[in-house]
Structure 1
Amino acid sequence: MQDALKNKIIDVCNKKIADKGENVSVSFYAFFKNKNDNPELFMEAATWWIKTHKLDHFEKAVKIKNLISGIAT
């Protein structure tokens, strides 16, 4: 996964956690605008989320942040 995408995911998760607490959930859609301006990056995130990790549509932001950071959950 590209470093820019990893950093964006961590930033979004940190913001969501700061705003709504440790139990907040996110979808991979949270990392993109409501416009398909970078389909390759979107597919990279979707593949990581769905195929690689077989995650549910919504997952705890803390879990996603830990997966991206390489911390076991």
Structure 2
Amino acid sequence: MRQELRDKIYTVCSKKIAAKGDNVGLSFYAFFANKNDDPELLMEAATWWIHTHQLDHFVKAQTIKMMIENDM
């Protein structure tokens, strides 16, 4: 996964946790605006989330943040 996406995921997870607590869940769509302005990046996130790690639709932000920190 490219660094740009890793940084974006980490930032979004950190903000969600700060705003809503450790139990907040999110989907990979949380990393993108409602307008699909970067379909390649969206597909990269979807592939990482669904195909590579076989995650459920909603996962705790804390779990995703730890995966990014551990370079998964």
TM normalised by structure 1 equals 0.94
1:36, 1:16 → 2: CA distance?
Answer: 21
Amino acid at match of 1:52: T
2:9, 2:63 → 1: CA distance?
Answer: 11
Shift of 1:71: 6.8
User: Does structure 1 residue 52 correspond to structure 2 residue 45?
Assistant: no
User: Does structure 1 residue 15 correspond to structure 2 residue 2?
Assistant: no
Shift of 1:36: 1.0
- Could you tell me which residue of structure 2 aligns to residue 40 of structure 1? 40
TM normalised by structure 2 equals 0.96
Stretches (4+) displaced over 2 A: none
- Per-residue CA distance 1:29-59 (angstroms, 9 max, x = gap): 0000001110000000000000000000000
Over the matched positions of the two proteins, sequence identity in percent amounts to 64
| RMSD between superposed Cα atoms in Å | 1.3
Residues matched between the structures, number: 72
Please, which runs of 5 or more residues in structure 1 have no aligned partner?
A: none
